[in-house]
Structure 1
Amino acid sequence: MDKLEIAELIDANVNQIHSLIQVKVKIWKEYVLFSDLWWFGFFLSIAPWIIWFWIRKKQSTDRILYVGFFVMIIALMLDILGDQMGFWHYRYNVIPVLPTYFPWDMTLMPVTVMVLIQVKPKVHPFIKAIFFALVSSYVAEPFIHWLKIYELLKWRYLYSVPIQCMIYLFAHWLSTRNKFEKIMIEKERPHL
Protein backbone atom coordinates (compact mmCIF):
# COMPACT_ATOMS: atom_id res chain seq x y z
CA MET A 1 0.00 0.00 0.00
CA ASP A 2 1.27 3.43 -0.81
CA LYS A 3 0.94 6.57 1.33
CA LEU A 4 -2.12 7.80 -0.54
CA GLU A 5 -4.03 4.55 0.05
CA ILE A 6 -3.07 4.55 3.72
CA ALA A 7 -4.20 8.16 4.05
CA GLU A 8 -7.55 7.27 2.42
CA LEU A 9 -8.04 4.35 4.83
CA ILE A 10 -7.29 6.56 7.82
CA ASP A 11 -9.60 9.33 6.53
CA ALA A 12 -12.44 6.83 5.99
CA ASN A 13 -11.97 5.54 9.52
CA VAL A 14 -11.98 9.07 10.96
CA ASN A 15 -15.20 9.83 9.04
CA GLN A 16 -16.87 6.73 10.55
CA ILE A 17 -15.72 7.73 14.04
CA HIS A 18 -17.01 11.28 13.49
CA SER A 19 -20.42 9.92 12.39
CA LEU A 20 -20.63 7.70 15.46
CA ILE A 21 -19.71 10.60 17.73
CA GLN A 22 -22.54 12.63 16.19
CA VAL A 23 -24.95 9.78 17.01
CA LYS A 24 -23.54 9.62 20.56
CA VAL A 25 -24.08 13.37 21.03
CA LYS A 26 -27.66 13.08 19.73
CA ILE A 27 -28.42 10.24 22.18
CA TRP A 28 -26.77 12.23 24.96
CA LYS A 29 -28.86 15.37 24.22
CA GLU A 30 -32.12 13.43 24.04
CA TYR A 31 -31.72 10.96 26.90
CA VAL A 32 -28.75 11.75 29.15
CA LEU A 33 -28.50 15.52 29.50
CA PHE A 34 -30.35 16.66 32.66
CA SER A 35 -31.25 13.07 33.63
CA ASP A 36 -30.80 12.06 37.28
CA LEU A 37 -27.49 10.32 36.51
CA TRP A 38 -26.27 13.33 34.55
CA TRP A 39 -27.03 15.58 37.55
CA PHE A 40 -25.29 13.05 39.79
CA GLY A 41 -22.17 13.26 37.61
CA PHE A 42 -22.40 17.04 37.49
CA PHE A 43 -22.60 17.17 41.30
CA LEU A 44 -19.61 14.78 41.58
CA SER A 45 -17.66 17.05 39.23
CA ILE A 46 -18.04 20.10 41.48
CA ALA A 47 -18.84 19.18 45.10
CA PRO A 48 -15.55 17.41 45.98
CA TRP A 49 -13.56 20.45 44.80
CA ILE A 50 -15.66 22.75 46.99
CA ILE A 51 -15.16 20.45 49.99
CA TRP A 52 -11.43 20.22 49.31
CA PHE A 53 -11.19 24.00 49.03
CA TRP A 54 -12.60 24.34 52.57
CA ILE A 55 -10.65 21.53 54.24
CA ARG A 56 -7.27 21.88 52.52
CA LYS A 57 -4.20 23.04 54.37
CA LYS A 58 -3.85 26.51 52.91
CA GLN A 59 -0.04 26.60 53.14
CA SER A 60 0.16 23.40 51.04
CA THR A 61 -2.30 24.39 48.31
CA ASP A 62 0.21 24.77 45.47
CA ARG A 63 2.08 21.56 46.26
CA ILE A 64 -1.11 19.53 46.61
CA LEU A 65 -2.65 20.97 43.43
CA TYR A 66 0.53 19.94 41.62
CA VAL A 67 -0.15 16.38 42.76
CA GLY A 68 -3.84 16.66 41.87
CA PHE A 69 -3.03 17.71 38.30
CA PHE A 70 -0.67 14.76 37.96
CA VAL A 71 -3.43 12.37 39.12
CA MET A 72 -5.89 13.99 36.69
CA ILE A 73 -3.56 13.51 33.74
CA ILE A 74 -2.75 9.88 34.58
CA ALA A 75 -6.40 9.00 35.34
CA LEU A 76 -7.57 10.64 32.12
CA MET A 77 -4.91 8.91 29.99
CA LEU A 78 -5.58 5.48 31.50
CA ASP A 79 -9.35 5.92 31.27
CA ILE A 80 -9.16 6.89 27.60
CA LEU A 81 -6.84 3.96 26.92
CA GLY A 82 -9.16 1.50 28.70
CA ASP A 83 -12.20 2.80 26.86
CA GLN A 84 -10.50 2.78 23.46
CA MET A 85 -9.12 -0.74 24.03
CA GLY A 86 -12.63 -1.96 24.85
CA PHE A 87 -11.97 -2.82 28.51
CA TRP A 88 -14.92 -0.71 29.68
CA HIS A 89 -17.16 2.15 28.64
CA TYR A 90 -19.28 4.78 30.31
CA ARG A 91 -22.89 5.78 29.94
CA TYR A 92 -24.39 9.00 31.30
CA ASN A 93 -21.29 11.06 30.59
CA VAL A 94 -21.32 14.61 31.88
CA ILE A 95 -19.59 15.69 28.66
CA PRO A 96 -20.67 13.56 25.68
CA VAL A 97 -17.55 13.67 23.51
CA LEU A 98 -15.19 12.48 26.24
CA PRO A 99 -14.80 8.70 26.34
CA THR A 100 -14.16 8.94 30.07
CA TYR A 101 -16.23 9.64 33.15
CA PHE A 102 -15.31 13.27 33.84
CA PRO A 103 -16.17 13.22 37.58
CA TRP A 104 -13.92 10.23 38.19
CA ASP A 105 -10.84 11.46 36.33
CA MET A 106 -11.04 15.18 37.00
CA THR A 107 -12.50 15.26 40.50
CA LEU A 108 -12.91 12.07 42.51
CA MET A 109 -9.46 10.58 41.87
CA PRO A 110 -7.39 13.76 42.32
CA VAL A 111 -9.37 15.16 45.24
CA THR A 112 -9.32 11.82 47.09
CA VAL A 113 -5.55 11.53 46.62
CA MET A 114 -5.01 15.15 47.69
CA VAL A 115 -7.09 14.66 50.84
CA LEU A 116 -5.36 11.38 51.71
CA ILE A 117 -1.96 13.00 51.37
CA GLN A 118 -2.92 15.79 53.77
CA VAL A 119 -4.87 13.74 56.32
CA LYS A 120 -2.81 11.78 58.84
CA PRO A 121 0.54 12.58 57.18
CA LYS A 122 2.41 10.23 59.53
CA VAL A 123 0.57 7.14 58.21
CA HIS A 124 2.84 5.15 55.92
CA PRO A 125 2.09 5.87 52.22
CA PHE A 126 1.81 2.13 51.43
CA ILE A 127 -1.09 1.82 53.88
CA LYS A 128 -2.81 4.82 52.32
CA ALA A 129 -2.11 3.47 48.82
CA ILE A 130 -3.68 0.12 49.66
CA PHE A 131 -6.65 1.84 51.31
CA PHE A 132 -7.11 4.13 48.30
CA ALA A 133 -6.80 1.24 45.83
CA LEU A 134 -9.22 -1.04 47.68
CA VAL A 135 -11.86 1.65 48.18
CA SER A 136 -11.54 2.86 44.57
CA SER A 137 -11.59 -0.64 43.11
CA TYR A 138 -14.06 -2.44 45.38
CA VAL A 139 -16.40 0.35 46.50
CA ALA A 140 -16.38 3.22 43.96
CA GLU A 141 -16.12 1.17 40.77
CA PRO A 142 -18.83 -1.35 41.76
CA PHE A 143 -21.07 1.53 42.86
CA ILE A 144 -20.89 3.34 39.51
CA HIS A 145 -21.27 -0.04 37.79
CA TRP A 146 -24.39 -0.72 39.88
CA LEU A 147 -25.75 2.69 38.81
CA LYS A 148 -25.22 1.57 35.17
CA ILE A 149 -22.79 4.45 34.54
CA TYR A 150 -19.80 2.14 34.10
CA GLU A 151 -19.87 -1.04 32.05
CA LEU A 152 -17.06 -3.56 32.44
CA LEU A 153 -16.27 -5.44 29.24
CA LYS A 154 -12.82 -7.05 29.55
CA TRP A 155 -11.91 -5.67 32.98
CA ARG A 156 -12.15 -6.86 36.57
CA TYR A 157 -12.05 -4.72 39.70
CA LEU A 158 -8.97 -6.61 40.83
CA TYR A 159 -7.00 -5.24 37.85
CA SER A 160 -7.49 -1.70 39.15
CA VAL A 161 -5.91 -2.36 42.57
CA PRO A 162 -2.21 -2.30 41.59
CA ILE A 163 -2.79 0.62 39.21
CA GLN A 164 -4.52 2.67 41.90
CA CYS A 165 -1.75 1.79 44.37
CA MET A 166 0.93 2.97 41.96
CA ILE A 167 -0.94 6.20 41.20
CA TYR A 168 -1.21 7.00 44.90
CA LEU A 169 2.41 6.11 45.68
CA PHE A 170 3.75 8.21 42.83
CA ALA A 171 1.46 11.10 43.83
CA HIS A 172 2.73 10.84 47.40
CA TRP A 173 6.32 10.86 46.17
CA LEU A 174 5.58 13.96 44.05
CA SER A 175 4.09 15.69 47.09
CA THR A 176 7.42 15.40 48.91
CA ARG A 177 9.46 17.01 46.11
CA ASN A 178 10.89 20.39 47.00
CA LYS A 179 13.52 21.09 44.38
CA PHE A 180 11.86 23.90 42.51
CA GLU A 181 13.90 26.77 41.24
CA LYS A 182 12.63 30.10 42.38
CA ILE A 183 11.62 32.25 39.43
CA MET A 184 13.12 35.69 39.65
CA ILE A 185 11.43 38.39 37.65
CA GLU A 186 13.68 41.31 37.03
CA LYS A 187 12.17 44.73 37.02
CA GLU A 188 12.22 46.15 33.58
CA ARG A 189 15.19 48.43 33.20
CA PRO A 190 14.87 51.61 31.19
CA HIS A 191 16.79 51.42 27.92
CA LEU A 192 19.58 53.93 27.58
Structure 2
Amino acid sequence: MTQEEYLKKADKIYDLIEKAHDKKIAFWHEHVLFTWQWWLGVFLTVVPWLLWFYFKKKESTYRLLASGLVVIFISSWLDFVGIALGLWHYNYDVLPLLPSYLPWDFTLFPVIIMFLIQIKPNSNPYIKALIFAGGSAFIGEPFFASVKTYTPENWKYIYSFPFLFGIYLLAHFISTRDNFDKINSQIKI
Protein backbone atom coordinates (compact mmCIF):
# COMPACT_ATOMS: atom_id res chain seq x y z
CA MET A 1 0.00 0.00 0.00
CA THR A 2 1.38 3.37 -0.96
CA GLN A 3 1.30 6.30 1.38
CA GLU A 4 -1.35 7.97 -0.79
CA GLU A 5 -3.60 4.88 -0.58
CA TYR A 6 -3.04 4.69 3.15
CA LEU A 7 -3.98 8.36 3.62
CA LYS A 8 -7.18 7.93 1.55
CA LYS A 9 -8.24 4.94 3.67
CA ALA A 10 -7.37 6.78 6.89
CA ASP A 11 -9.44 9.78 5.72
CA LYS A 12 -12.44 7.51 5.07
CA ILE A 13 -12.15 6.02 8.56
CA TYR A 14 -11.98 9.46 10.18
CA ASP A 15 -14.97 10.59 8.11
CA LEU A 16 -16.95 7.65 9.53
CA ILE A 17 -15.87 8.57 13.05
CA GLU A 18 -16.90 12.19 12.51
CA LYS A 19 -20.31 11.16 11.12
CA ALA A 20 -20.86 8.78 14.06
CA HIS A 21 -19.92 11.54 16.49
CA ASP A 22 -22.33 13.97 14.79
CA LYS A 23 -25.10 11.35 15.17
CA LYS A 24 -24.20 10.86 18.82
CA ILE A 25 -24.45 14.60 19.53
CA ALA A 26 -27.80 14.86 17.75
CA PHE A 27 -29.07 11.81 19.64
CA TRP A 28 -27.80 13.30 22.93
CA HIS A 29 -29.64 16.59 22.29
CA GLU A 30 -32.87 14.80 21.47
CA HIS A 31 -32.90 11.92 23.96
CA VAL A 32 -30.45 12.55 26.81
CA LEU A 33 -30.23 16.25 27.64
CA PHE A 34 -32.47 17.18 30.59
CA THR A 35 -33.60 13.60 31.35
CA TRP A 36 -33.54 12.59 35.01
CA GLN A 37 -30.47 10.44 34.28
CA TRP A 38 -28.72 13.48 32.82
CA TRP A 39 -29.65 15.55 35.88
CA LEU A 40 -28.35 12.75 38.13
CA GLY A 41 -25.07 12.90 36.23
CA VAL A 42 -24.86 16.69 36.60
CA PHE A 43 -25.61 16.38 40.33
CA LEU A 44 -22.93 13.67 40.74
CA THR A 45 -20.44 15.80 38.81
CA VAL A 46 -20.87 18.95 40.92
CA VAL A 47 -22.05 18.08 44.44
CA PRO A 48 -19.21 15.72 45.50
CA TRP A 49 -16.63 18.39 44.61
CA LEU A 50 -18.55 21.00 46.62
CA LEU A 51 -18.65 18.62 49.60
CA TRP A 52 -14.94 17.90 49.24
CA PHE A 53 -14.02 21.61 49.11
CA TYR A 54 -16.08 22.17 52.26
CA PHE A 55 -14.83 19.16 54.26
CA LYS A 56 -11.24 18.80 53.02
CA LYS A 57 -8.30 19.24 55.33
CA LYS A 58 -6.86 22.57 54.18
CA GLU A 59 -3.28 21.65 55.02
CA SER A 60 -3.55 18.60 52.74
CA THR A 61 -5.28 20.26 49.77
CA TYR A 62 -2.43 20.06 47.23
CA ARG A 63 -1.38 16.58 48.28
CA LEU A 64 -4.95 15.31 47.93
CA LEU A 65 -5.49 17.13 44.63
CA ALA A 66 -2.32 15.56 43.22
CA SER A 67 -3.72 12.14 44.13
CA GLY A 68 -7.12 13.04 42.70
CA LEU A 69 -5.59 14.23 39.44
CA VAL A 70 -3.77 10.92 39.01
CA VAL A 71 -7.03 9.08 39.69
CA ILE A 72 -8.81 11.18 37.04
CA PHE A 73 -6.07 10.52 34.50
CA ILE A 74 -5.89 6.75 35.05
CA SER A 75 -9.61 6.09 35.43
CA SER A 76 -10.57 8.15 32.38
CA TRP A 77 -7.82 6.57 30.29
CA LEU A 78 -8.92 3.06 31.29
CA ASP A 79 -12.52 4.07 30.60
CA PHE A 80 -11.60 5.30 27.11
CA VAL A 81 -9.84 1.99 26.39
CA GLY A 82 -12.77 -0.08 27.70
CA ILE A 83 -15.24 1.85 25.56
CA ALA A 84 -13.00 1.62 22.47
CA LEU A 85 -12.72 -2.16 22.96
CA GLY A 86 -16.50 -2.49 23.30
CA LEU A 87 -16.35 -3.76 26.88
CA TRP A 88 -18.98 -1.26 28.10
CA HIS A 89 -20.70 1.97 27.13
CA TYR A 90 -22.64 4.79 28.75
CA ASN A 91 -26.17 5.81 27.80
CA TYR A 92 -26.68 9.16 29.53
CA ASP A 93 -23.52 11.21 29.12
CA VAL A 94 -23.38 14.55 30.89
CA LEU A 95 -21.35 15.83 27.92
CA PRO A 96 -21.50 14.06 24.56
CA LEU A 97 -17.92 15.06 23.75
CA LEU A 98 -16.33 12.60 26.18
CA PRO A 99 -16.64 8.86 25.72
CA SER A 100 -16.33 8.23 29.46
CA TYR A 101 -18.93 8.94 32.13
CA LEU A 102 -17.92 12.32 33.54
CA PRO A 103 -19.30 11.85 37.09
CA TRP A 104 -17.61 8.48 37.47
CA ASP A 105 -14.07 9.31 36.30
CA PHE A 106 -13.82 13.01 37.03
CA THR A 107 -15.77 13.25 40.30
CA LEU A 108 -16.84 10.12 42.14
CA PHE A 109 -13.58 8.16 41.90
CA PRO A 110 -11.21 11.02 42.82
CA VAL A 111 -13.44 12.57 45.49
CA ILE A 112 -14.21 9.27 47.22
CA ILE A 113 -10.52 8.36 47.18
CA MET A 114 -9.49 11.77 48.53
CA PHE A 115 -12.02 11.45 51.36
CA LEU A 116 -10.80 7.93 52.16
CA ILE A 117 -7.19 9.12 52.23
CA GLN A 118 -7.90 11.96 54.66
CA ILE A 119 -10.20 9.96 56.97
CA LYS A 120 -8.07 8.06 59.48
CA PRO A 121 -4.89 8.63 57.44
CA ASN A 122 -2.88 6.07 59.43
CA SER A 123 -5.33 3.24 58.71
CA ASN A 124 -4.26 0.31 56.59
CA PRO A 125 -4.39 1.44 52.92
CA TYR A 126 -5.17 -2.12 51.77
CA ILE A 127 -8.37 -2.10 53.85
CA LYS A 128 -9.35 1.26 52.35
CA ALA A 129 -8.53 -0.02 48.85
CA LEU A 130 -10.72 -3.04 49.55
CA ILE A 131 -13.58 -0.78 50.66
CA PHE A 132 -13.19 1.52 47.66
CA ALA A 133 -12.83 -1.26 45.07
CA GLY A 134 -15.59 -3.38 46.58
CA GLY A 135 -18.01 -0.50 46.91
CA SER A 136 -17.32 0.81 43.41
CA ALA A 137 -17.34 -2.56 41.63
CA PHE A 138 -20.15 -4.30 43.52
CA ILE A 139 -22.41 -1.39 44.53
CA GLY A 140 -21.61 1.55 42.21
CA GLU A 141 -21.41 -0.30 38.91
CA PRO A 142 -24.57 -2.39 39.51
CA PHE A 143 -26.45 0.76 40.57
CA PHE A 144 -25.49 2.64 37.40
CA ALA A 145 -26.33 -0.45 35.34
CA SER A 146 -29.76 -0.70 37.04
CA VAL A 147 -30.62 2.90 36.11
CA LYS A 148 -29.36 2.18 32.56
CA THR A 149 -26.58 4.77 32.70
CA TYR A 150 -23.89 2.10 32.32
CA THR A 151 -24.10 -0.97 30.11
CA PRO A 152 -21.41 -3.62 30.52
CA GLU A 153 -21.11 -5.52 27.24
CA ASN A 154 -18.21 -7.93 27.68
CA TRP A 155 -17.38 -6.97 31.25
CA LYS A 156 -18.21 -8.36 34.66
CA TYR A 157 -18.14 -6.27 37.83
CA ILE A 158 -15.45 -8.50 39.32
CA TYR A 159 -13.08 -7.45 36.51
CA SER A 160 -13.18 -3.86 37.79
CA PHE A 161 -12.16 -4.82 41.31
CA PRO A 162 -8.35 -5.24 40.81
CA PHE A 163 -8.13 -2.06 38.71
CA LEU A 164 -9.98 -0.03 41.34
CA PHE A 165 -7.91 -1.61 44.13
CA GLY A 166 -4.71 -0.59 42.31
CA ILE A 167 -5.95 2.92 41.56
CA TYR A 168 -6.65 3.49 45.25
CA LEU A 169 -3.23 2.19 46.30
CA LEU A 170 -1.47 4.40 43.75
CA ALA A 171 -3.41 7.46 44.95
CA HIS A 172 -2.52 6.60 48.54
CA PHE A 173 1.15 6.20 47.57
CA ILE A 174 1.16 9.63 45.90
CA SER A 175 -0.54 11.23 48.89
CA THR A 176 2.15 9.98 51.26
CA ARG A 177 5.14 11.30 49.30
CA ASP A 178 7.27 14.02 50.82
CA ASN A 179 7.04 17.51 49.38
CA PHE A 180 8.51 17.95 45.95
CA ASP A 181 11.80 19.75 45.53
CA LYS A 182 11.56 23.28 44.21
CA ILE A 183 12.19 23.74 40.52
CA ASN A 184 15.70 24.93 39.81
CA SER A 185 15.77 27.89 37.45
CA GLN A 186 18.86 26.57 35.70
CA ILE A 187 18.52 23.85 33.13
CA LYS A 188 21.34 21.33 32.99
CA ILE A 189 22.01 20.04 29.52
- Please state which band the TM-score falls in when normalised by the shorter chain: over 0.9
The residue that corresponds to 1:71 in the other structure is 71
Q: For 1:6-155, what aligned pairs fall within 5 Å after superposition?
A: 6-155=6-155
Question: Unmatched 5+ residue regions in structure 1?
Answer: 186-192
Secondary structure in 2 aligned to 1:5?
Answer: helix
One-letter amino acid of the structure 1 residue matched with residue 92 of structure 2: Y
One-letter amino acid of the structure 1 residue matched with residue 45 of structure 2: S
> Matched residues in 2 for 1:109 and 1:5: separation?
44
Q: Residue deviations 1:132-161, cap 9 Å, x none?
A: 000000000000000000001010000000
Any runs of at least 4 consecutive aligned residues in structure 1 with deviations exceeding 3 A, and if so which? Answer: none
The alpha-carbon deviation at position 5 of structure 1 amounts to 1.0
The alpha-carbon deviation at position 179 of structure 1 amounts to 4.3
> Matched residues in 1 for 2:69 and 2:179: separation?
18
One-letter amino acid of the structure 1 residue matched with residue 28 of structure 2: W
> Matched residues in 2 for 1:38 and 1:179: separation?
40
One-letter amino acid of the structure 1 residue matched with residue 4 of structure 2: L
Q: Residue deviations 1:55-75, cap 9 Å, x none?
A: 100000011001000000001
Secondary structure in 2 aligned to 1:155?
Answer: coil
The alpha-carbon deviation at position 4 of structure 1 amounts to 1.2
> Matched residues in 2 for 1:62 and 1:86: separation?
36
Secondary structure in 1 aligned to 2:154?
Answer: coil
1:167 matches 2:167: yes
What is the identity percentage for the equivalent residue pairs of Structure 1 and Structure 2? 44
What is the aligned length?
185
The alpha-carbon deviation at position 182 of structure 1 amounts to 2.4
Question: Unmatched 5+ residue regions in structure 2?
Answer: none
For the pair shown, the structure with the greater C-alpha radius of gyration is 1
TM-score by length of 2: 0.95
The alpha-carbon deviation at position 183 of structure 1 amounts to 4.5
Q: Residue deviations 1:11-52, cap 9 Å, x none?
A: 101100100110110010011111111010000000000000
